[in-house]
A and B are shown apart, each in its own frame.
Chain A
Amino acid sequence: MALKTLEIIKKRLEERPKEIEKARREGQKVVGWQGYNIPEEIIYALGLIPVRIGVGGDDRMVEIGARYISTKNCVFVRETVGLFAENNDPYVQNTDILAFDATCLQTYRTAEIIQYYFNKEVLILGVPRNFYWPEAKVYFTKEVEYFTRRLEKQAGKKLNYQILADTIGLYDRIRNAIVTIYTYQAAAGNYLSWEETYDLIHAGYYLDRREYLSLLEQVLAELREKQGQPFIEAVEGEARIFLSGSVLPPGDKKLIKIIQEVGGRIVGDDLWSGLIPYLDVKIPENSLQGLAVGYLNRTPHGALPYLDLDTDRRIKRLKELIQTFKAQGVIYHTLRYCDPYTFKAKETKDILQKEGIPLLEIHTEYAGSDLEAIRTRVEAFVEMLKNRYDEEVAV
């Protein structure tokens, strides 16, 4: 199934750490960032190298992180701290400045820990707790302005608004390409799996964004040639699964592998490490306020409290995406101590149940002790979906 461009991307990812090292020697600075609401366009427009840091799936690294941060924080956060403690990750080694947003408060505390123990320079971007209030626009614009001033200091230059406009255009094209590729992976007769698409998104955390766009466009060209016009439909015998919930960062493949091994087909997601950051981004004007408003109007992150379920944009978008990708069920992944998504599991399940969409919550962390227990649950869920949608394969 593999496309030629995927091989090129794999090779470029292997080469990328050395390139970044060289760029630093030549005076460029690297901004390692983590979060959901960092307007990366500003970092890139200032000539800084943005790298989205943080990986998952390594329990050893979690334990190293736990020497510095409470074990009552999620494993992603603990592993992030572990990365800095061990200091072997080439991207972490090559980070000059760290940028974290205050969307998830555990991530925010990670920034505090990293600054305290590892003496890294950290910039924090404040995020309004309620994206729906008019005051949120004022607050977030001020935060983005302050964030930009601090980045300008690091870059040693002022933000050029013509370059910013070009960068917004570049990022819009990246976002559009990713959304289109998602349509191809969910279609019948697909040449690209959801997992490959997900890896493709993560490649964009590290590669230069202009090159990344060019590679995405090559992927699209290959898909158009092989697959033609994508048509999303449920095929007999499939268990089409939509993934939602807590972050699944690069390296955390436990759940993804299990779903595939037991015969499920992942067709979409609304993960903040997946598709959702690229959806619904409309930057109304070439200004910092324009960027702030564009980011505020996206689907809000699950960590932000919002109690009115009828007007919750996250729930609305989730339902739309399930329909778009013709998913038959949702696997809602929650990491232990990822409170925001864990708290929302029951309400999300109840809402989807009213629409006839079953939801399975998988509560886990990176240790392998629950591997077989998760396999049983996911396999039973796949059996249930197949029974619901295909009487012939019913058991």
Chain B
Amino acid sequence: MANVSAFAGVDVGSLGTKTVILVDGEIAGYSILRTGINTEENGLHGLETALENAGLKREDLKYIVATGYGRISAPYADKTVTEITCHAKGAHYLHPQTRTIIDMGGQDCKAIRLDEDGNVTDFAMNDKCAAGTGRFLEVMANVFKVSLDELGPLSLRATEVLPVSSTCTVFAESETVSLLARGERPENIIIGIHHAIANRVGGMFSRVGIESDVFFSGGVAKNIGMRKALEDVLKVKIVEPKKDPQLVGAIGAAVIAQNSWKRGR
């Protein structure tokens, strides 16, 4: 491809490395890989895979923005920006009416408020513990001996919501084991887990407020059971994402890369 101006956003998360290539403001390619132990290599591998997917070469890239927890080890990037700012820009790109984002990633969970230009106006993050994150759900999926993808559909088959505590992953795991031992239906426990997370997210929104349209981003946003629980608990309608919600941070990073290049920064 001749005279291409491509921009990349690389989001190195705790569980997944997501990369998006933007050409003329459109997504030309992307990749989602499992994050390994070498953060820098993860980012570079993600970048190569996404470029290949877009049919582009490294020299076509004009600007790279890295985000996610791995941004601190991204010498290949021209700039690093936090995932909070990137999710805001990414959600704004996909759905400009977005005013509130629920982002659930591998090891944290965020409530983000933004203005009509996609700028962050306020945010809150979970403190310390893993409850309400992708890792928490992975641990729970392991208890039920199912894959992570199966948790959401299973929860939709529940006949009642069993209360499960959300204060600690380890305690929630032992509580789940006890409920199973008591003979409770797995679906009812799984929906209880989703509601526990949603209640916890509700606590974060009490700090930043919630305004429509509400966008759900991050790897956990692929879980339809989680989405349903959030809608039920928070009493909001969550917009349908046009793209994989796991890519939102990387999309935002690519948008920022494009804007930064245009501004000469």
Contacts and interface: CB of A to CB of B under 8 A. Distances in A.
A394 interface: yes
Interface string B114-154: 00000111110101100000000000000000000000000
B81 A383 contact: yes
Q: Which has the most chain B C-beta neighbours within 10 Å: A346, A372, A377, A393?
A: A377
A5 to B, nearest CB: 36
B125 A376 contact: yes
A392 B263 contact: yes
Given A370-B128, A373-B125, A388-B119, A395 B89 contact: yes
Q: Which has the most chain A C-beta neighbours within 10 Å: B121, B127, B256, B260?
A: B127
Contact of B108 (A358, A369, A373): A373
Contacts of A392: 263
Given A346-B207, A373-B108, A395-B260, A383 B128 contact: no
A121 to B, nearest CB: 39
Given A376-B125, A395-B89, A395-B260, A384 B120 contact: yes
A376 B207 CA distance: 18
Nearest to A346: B207
B187 interface: no
Nearest to A362: B127
A385 to B, nearest CB: 10
Interface in B57-93: 69, 72, 81-85, 89
Contacts of B84: 376-377, 380, 383
Interface residues of B, number: 24
A380 B120 contact: yes
A384 B85 contact: yes
A387 B108 contact: no
A383 B85 contact: yes
Interface in A360-394: 361, 363, 369-370, 372-373, 376-377, 379-380, 383-384, 387-388, 392-394
A349 interface: yes
Interface string A325-352: 0000000000000000000001001000
B88 to A, nearest CB: 9
Given A358-B122, A395-B89, A395-B260, A376 B128 contact: no
B212 interface: no
A106 to B, nearest CB: 20
Given A383-B81, A394-B119, A377 B263 contact: no
Interface string A194-210: 00000000000000000
A369 B128 CA distance: 8
A358 B83 CA distance: 19
Contact of B82 (A349, A358, A363, A380): A380
Contacts of B82: 376, 379-380, 383
Contacts of B123: 377, 380, 384
A395 B207 contact: no
Interface of A: 346, 349, 358, 361, 363, 369-370, 372-373, 376-377, 379-380, 383-384, 387-388, 392-395
The 9 closest A-B pairs by CB, nearest first: A380-B84, A380-B82, A395-B256, A384-B120, A379-B82, A383-B85, A387-B119, A363-B127, A376-B82
7 contacts: A373-B127, A376-B83, A380-B85, A384-B121, A392-B263, A394-B119, A395-B259
